[in-house]
Structure 1
Amino acid sequence: MSAQFISSIEPGKQSVKKRFILWFDEISRKQFDLVGGKNASLGELRQIGARVPPGFAVTTQAYDYFLKKSGIGKKIFPMLGDSKSKSQRELAEICKEVRRIIINSALLEEISIEIAKAYFKLCELVGMKDLPVAVRSSATSEDLPWASFAGLQDTYLWIVGAAEVIIKVKSCWASLFSDRATSYRNDMGFSHDREKISVTVQKMVNSRTAGVMFTLNPINGDKSEVAINASWGLGESVVSGEVTPDEFLVDKASLEVKKRVLGEKDIEIVPVSGGGVVEREVSETRRKSYSITDEEIRELVRAGLRIEKHYKNPSDIEWAIDQDMDFPENIFILQARPETVWSRKKTVSKEEKKEEDTDYVIDLLTRFFK
């Protein structure tokens, strides 16, 4: 679909019977099958009043319609049928071909039009013509209590323009068949043709500081504490494990910082004019400074505790502080999901807990920072 055609599309209501687009404010956990784990959580957070940047979901119905109408589903699923018995090299070749088929297939016009309309409407709502957005995968297997699919599909940051958003949506669909995601489905016994994927399109936060928060102590499971990791720039440097962030341990009752460790924070991810992001070095002065204030920490913890209360469970939360806005309106929640690792752990003795701590931290970092 040409950029000229995209530019001629006017915002409006969906013109198809299937729901290819759902706005966050329309979404709750009840639409999990339609919007996937990430989008279901974002909609739920908006409903409880959390400060979540606006956006919309490209639904699993759009993905299904694309596979069926184009005939791609009939091509790729037989290829994946016996992939569990393949070697790692053979599986990689199959997955590469599946992704190639999806990427090289034209996205159906009826889906492209709805995505473009939604993007233009989001630009209008925010008051910015070419709004930078994050385009993220939101699979129906994400955030399940018995499986850790989160982070196995793609994310694209600071995407500008309807045409680029449409391209990235298709790239997210293709990422459902990455080597890691396909292998993990095989290991967990998930059927490839029953797995669905939605896509998140969300206003970017122009982050001064961003990071992750656990509404428990992730080392020992202490529910009276909140752990925060923070670093300069966009949060991908933290969630991907590229930087050593500032670390804070906060008492839930008093909101006082009990422990703080200055991280190296040697790089940051920042937006590029015209779209996309780049990694750059952080000055020595900023490396030696904490990236978040105590006042911001307290506000962040309050937000985390509201989320924990809603989910009735400790939570893993991604957050960002917008450098263009005033406190406290500049603190945003980008993603949240119930914590599952400590919730699933059985009660153990102090001796057993010491032995498990190292294994747990490795598992946590592998699951969360990928």
Structure 2
Amino acid sequence: MEEKREIDVKTDRKKVNKASEKHKQLAHFIKSVHTQLRKDSEVFGAKEAWNTHIAQKEKLKEYAKSMYQLATKHWGQKSQSSEKISCRVEWIKSKCKDYFFNGGVDKYDEKEQHLLEKDTPESCRVERVENFEAWVISKITVLDVGSCYNPFATENSFIVTAVDIAPYSSDVLKCDFLNLNVGSERKVTECNNALIELPKNSCDVVIFSLLLEYIPCPDQRFSCCKKAYELLRDRGILFIATPDSKHQGSNAKIINTSWKVVLAKLGFMRICYEKLPHLHCMMFRKCCFKEAAMKKINWKKIPENDELYSLMKIFIPQDFQSKNVNDDTDDDLQQFEHNDQESLALFNELPCEI
């Protein structure tokens, strides 16, 4: 009996080791794609590198398969095995329902009205609360960008349009979001089921889950956020989930401050932020009045002429890994060092499904 138990333990250990090795192989491939795209962007320019990347059909197919396997066979299992781990999919679902069905819209209508009145003499105030029409909604219209296999499809309160440059599932539309046209109607090509246009102001929610760190260039990331702003209705929500294996404060200047400032200039007000074990999860509201988003920022604390707060750029920690982070004269860059080895470790450990 004891001998059989030992054999079973050894067998289980072999299975775990095999699964762990497969996990690392998948994560290494994902990371190598990201790294190569950033390198190509530096050499050939972001636009040419991106166009070359999306033309590599076999590599993208392998990428989609790898992400699916990581999410469903590795991260998903880790998420189920630990009560302390929160999944970003469930986090987004929960925040959506609170915002649209449990008084969140009204709460932030009042917040926006308060910000509009802030530092404004009473004699000069304009009563604009009547512009916040009652929002009655039974289903939430969701655009999930970089969806892979449409993890939100099972949520009954969502009407999901899932898009990806290389869909894994048949219910995910092929779409290069950087080149998606924002127009007056929804257009899907018959030949390859590709989404090429969506109407302006047509979405309640846009989701960027593990998307912005894929995009190689700060200008392109800003373009993604700007496009999300155009696609969202007033009071709609942009969700951003981006990986970071470091503690909450280590990359705060980028994630917690720079993004908040740059997106406020677009008209987004950040209304929720949580640091999950390996992720920053953020929720931004498209304000009815851009002035309210701007007033949410304490501009006295924002350094003038700092590129991080540029109007047209969204930086990530990886943008600075090629610079000399050990230079004692550049303390700011030291706090967002995020090298390839750390990124690989992150993909090895990420517990949450996509």
**Both structures adopt the same fold (TM-score exceeding 0.5):** no
Bigger fraction of residues in helix: 2
TM-score by length of 2: 0.25
Bigger fraction of residues in strand: 1
TM-score by length of 1: 0.25
